[in-house]
Structure 1
Amino acid sequence: MSGDAYPVTPDGRYFVVRGRLWRRSNPALAEDRRAALVADLMRARRAVGVALRAGDTPNLAEARAAVDRAKVALGERGPVWWNDGAPDLNRHMVANTPYAAWFEALTTAD
């Protein structure tokens, strides 16, 4: 999932899907590093699907751990990639955050 298809907060930290904030990847990552991490993430997500369909609990746990490692490396989970002290609002409903007025203006502009 990319933030490009969804509204992105003015500070570029999150995109919004169904009213929920999702942290974007660290924009400071070099493009080749980002591409390699996205490839790792997609590979891990495919492994999750294979393990789920096979009922393979040990491989499912490892595949999910690989997804988490890739997301942390991308900056989508784990420590935040910004350094201004702002809290992490990942997975919060946008209506319950400082972005509420911005999002409301987007949705009522039509």
Structure 2
Amino acid sequence: MHPTIPGGRYFVVKGQLWRCTNPSFSECERQRLVHDLMDARREVKRAKCSGDSSMLKSARSRVNVAKVGLGERGAVWWDDGSTDYNRCRVELTPYADWYNALGATKEQ
């Protein structure tokens, strides 16, 4: 399990922040969007195996659409005007002290 910042906007993988899914979704809606994402990721795998660059481009586009739908990319899902730190190194964000305080409990 990857650590999630206080407030639940991001989780940390290898020192990098990744935006969490929008928590306002119903479980049913979230599951539908996750299912779409997993289908798209399987399509990326098939496209890579086939060597079909057009299919790969289409599949990657579907992954992006699903991630935007989940709130993990695109416009932020919060409305307090806070900066988006998606894909930033946690040490270069206001969450650096929190992350450093995790110490030995950080994922490797």
C-alpha distance in 1, partners of 2:103/2:51? 42
Amino acid at match of 2:83: P
Q: Are residue 27 (structure 1) and residue 13 (structure 2) matched?
A: no
Runs of 4+ aligned structure 1 residues displaced above 2 Å come to none
Amino acid at match of 1:38: V
TM-score by length of 1: 0.93
TM-score by length of 2: 0.95
- Larger relative contact order, structure 1 or 2 (CA cutoff 8 Å, min sep 6): 2
Q: CA deviation at 1:58?
A: 1.1
Q: Are residue 70 (structure 1) and residue 66 (structure 2) matched?
A: yes
Runs (5+) with no aligned partner, structure 1: none
SS at match of 1:22: strand
Q: CA deviation at 1:108?
A: 5.3
Amino acid at match of 1:65: S
Q: CA deviation at 1:107?
A: 1.5
Identity among equivalent positions (%) equals: 53
C-alpha distance in 2, partners of 1:10/1:20? 15
